[in-house]
Amino acid sequence: MAQIPGKEKKLKVRRGLKRTGKTLLPDKLTWLKQPTVVTMMRCDFNASHYRVLIGIIEHIQEAIDKSINKEDWRQLNMFHELENNKDYYRLTIPLRNLGFSPDKYKLLKDTLSELATIPVQMDVVDGDKEYWSVSGLFEARIEKIKKGSTETYKAYVRDVEIIIKKDIAERLVNVDRGFTKFVKEIAISSSSKYTIKFYLLISSWKDKGGFVIKYSRLREWLNIEDKYPEYPDFYKRIVRPAYEELFEKSDCWFEMAEEYLAGEKNPYLLRFKIIKAPMTEDEKKHMKRLIENFRSMWSFYLQMSDGSIDELLPFVSLSNYLLIIEKTTEIKEAIAQHADSIGNISAYSYASLKNYIESITGFAGTEI
């Protein structure tokens, strides 16, 4: 974490709402995954824009799952190359997936038109180089309503065609830099773009317990460098409404503290603590099965001791277990190929798995 030498620091913890221990979640929970690069992209989207983006993310879940499992997703039937330009894909997405009712044709058309022109800024890695990529996400095609028709567009228009560059599609799918797991119904229920952004951000870090971010970086990511220059106004209009909207009505919410440097009116750092809602009964059953399976795999395939297994199992979660399964398989294959040179297989397995789990779980002091 960056330090400012010679400056005295002061920590201010924001008082939150009183916890009741009860979480009111939506009746339906649709879990989605998206690359962390998408979560952290900088853009000036409103709530309607995010609903469309989340609808697209839902449509390509199979591709994202394949990316998580290191499988080729490009041959899936959902991705069609344009006949006249092989640098683009065409996706056909049902309108119902985008969250617009039949009487909202104009809003849908306007939202898609805006999304085609609003620039987004993403982190891109090309070999040893890292840079920002700035572009629109996609072009959209929606069938026209016949003039003079008294019927809604639902009778004529059931799908939207999304025309997307292959390199942009790659960023929407590729999870090499991690992924965010979140609940669709929670993300799209808010009319505030800031609540949606905060929810996606804390969902990325909920298994790590929290994170630290420079105040200036958070403002940049929220795309509000020119708004609310005084911190009390920023907190009142941006942070507090998002906190109250998510508090005990989401699978995770946050508490926050500010770190000030001596003589400064605005904080230098913001420390976020993430609180997870208690698991549902189904999640508890699923988690119990996972723990039993990991105990069996690590004992049989990795030859780990009971003590080592007991130490690492608490770090397994519903959000990271797929990554840990993948690493377990990788260690198992390494043992099969190099057993003679490894020596102490139990120690090798423990060290490899422990280092990996630490890398993906981190700790609450991690700065982003």
- Residue-wise pLDDT tens digits, 241-263: 999 999 999 999 999 999 999 88
Structure tokens at 315: 């770090």
Contact 276, 252 (CB under 8 A): yes
Considering the chain, what percentage of its residues have pLDDT values greater than 70? 91
Q: What is the pLDDT of residues 90-112, one digit of tens each?
A: 999 988 788 777 677 788 888 98
Contact 319, 183 (CB under 8 A): no
Q: Nearest CA to 179 among 65, 278, 93? A: 65
Q: Nearest CA to 138 among 158, 118, 124? A: 118
Considering the chain, what percentage of its residues have pLDDT values greater than 90? 58
Contact 170, 107 (CB under 8 A): no
Report the relative pairing of strands 179-183 and 31-35 from DSSP bridges. antiparallel
Structure tokens at 297: 């795999």
219 or 22, which is more confident: 219
- Give the bridge partners for 89, in sequence order: 81, 164
Give, rounded to a whole angstrom, the gap between the first and last alpha carbons of the chain: 9
Q: What is the pLDDT of residue 149?
A: 54
The contacts of residue 355 (CB under 8 Å, 6+ apart) are: none
What's the CATH class of domain 31-189? mainly alpha
Answer whether residue 24 shows pLDDT above 80.
Answer: yes
Strands ordered across the beta sheet of 80-82: 80-82, 85-94, 159-165, 139-141
Single-letter code of the amino acid located at 333? E
Parse the chain into domains and list their residue ranges. 31-189, 281-361
Q: What is the pLDDT of residues 162-184, one digit of tens each?
A: 999 999 999 999 998 889 999 99
Distance CA 348, CA 150 (A): 71
Q: What is the pLDDT of residue 368?
A: 72
Report the relative pairing of strands 139-141 and 252-261 from DSSP bridges. unpaired
> For tokens 């770190």, what's the residue?
259
95 or 50, which is more confident: 50
Structure tokens at 117: 């022109």
Mean pLDDT of 15-21: 88
Q: What is the pLDDT of residues 116-158, one digit of tens each?
A: 899 999 877 666 777 777 788 888 887 766 655 554 444 456 7
Burial of 136 (0-12, 13-18, 19+ CB in 10 A): middle
Average of per-residue pLDDT values in the chain: 88
Contact 102, 154 (CB under 8 A): yes
pTM of this structure: 0.81
Q: What is the pLDDT of residue 286?
A: 92
Structure tokens at 6: 């010679």
Q: What is the pLDDT of residue 154?
A: 45
Mean pLDDT of 34-48: 94
The contacts of residue 54 (CB under 8 Å, 6+ apart) are: 32, 99, 184, 187, 188
Q: What is the pLDDT of residue 224?
A: 92
Answer whether residue 274 shows pLDDT above 90.
Answer: yes
Q: What is the pLDDT of residue 153?
A: 45
pLDDT-derived band of residue 31, with 50, 70 and 90 as boundaries?
very high
Q: Which of 68-72, 224-228, 246-250 has the highest mean pLDDT?
A: 246-250
Q: What is the pLDDT of residues 180-197, one digit of tens each?
A: 999 999 999 999 999 999
Q: Nearest CA to 59 among 169, 177, 167? A: 169
Mean pLDDT of 192-221: 94
Q: What is the pLDDT of residue 357?
A: 86
